Amino acid sequence: MGVILNKDNTKNITVAFKYEPYTLERKYRNASSERGWQYEFPAKSLSKDPRAGDIRRHHIHENGLQKAVQTTARLAGIVKPINVHTFRHFFATHLLEANYDIRTVQELHGHKGASTTMIYTHVLNKPGLRVKSPLDG
């Protein structure tokens, strides 16, 4: 729980920082106030939990984030379609370009097998590193 002051700084109310499912709240009692458990993109406003009556902060809706990414891309002059999932591809590609091994990228992305992660290798274009067949002369 935490204390939030009203706009006029006169009345404070107690709120839970972030909603955690009941079983998770029991297991990790401080999760709702610890930084590692907080949303990366919290909602601007608070809302009342219909079950418990607590005032809580939830995450923003994914459509709002999608629109922000697309607006930013358009303002930056990026003409190709882009969405938040594109950042996963950027991240994986940059790791591979920085010579991280495929298993590290696989683990970071939560892929079960390396074959899923291998799709990122097609964009690596490093001249001079291609295999040359002995038959090419």
Show which of 57, 74, 97 is a domain's final residue.
57
Does 35 map to a domain? yes
Does 135 map to a domain? no
pLDDT band at 132 (very low <50, low <70, confident <90, very high): low
Range of the domain at 45: 2-57
pTM score of the predicted model:
0.52
pLDDT tens by residue, 21-67: 566 667 777 777 777 777 778 888 888 877 778 787 777 888 888 99
Claim to verify: residue 68 and residue 90 sit in the same structural domain: yes
Claim to verify: residue 51 and residue 102 sit in the same structural domain: no
Claim to verify: residue 44 and residue 92 sit in the same structural domain: no
Helix axes 86-97, 102-109, angle to 10 degrees: 160
Q: How many domains does the chain have?
A: 2
β-pairing verdict for 55-57 and 12-18: parallel
Claim to verify: residue 44 and residue 66 sit in the same structural domain: no
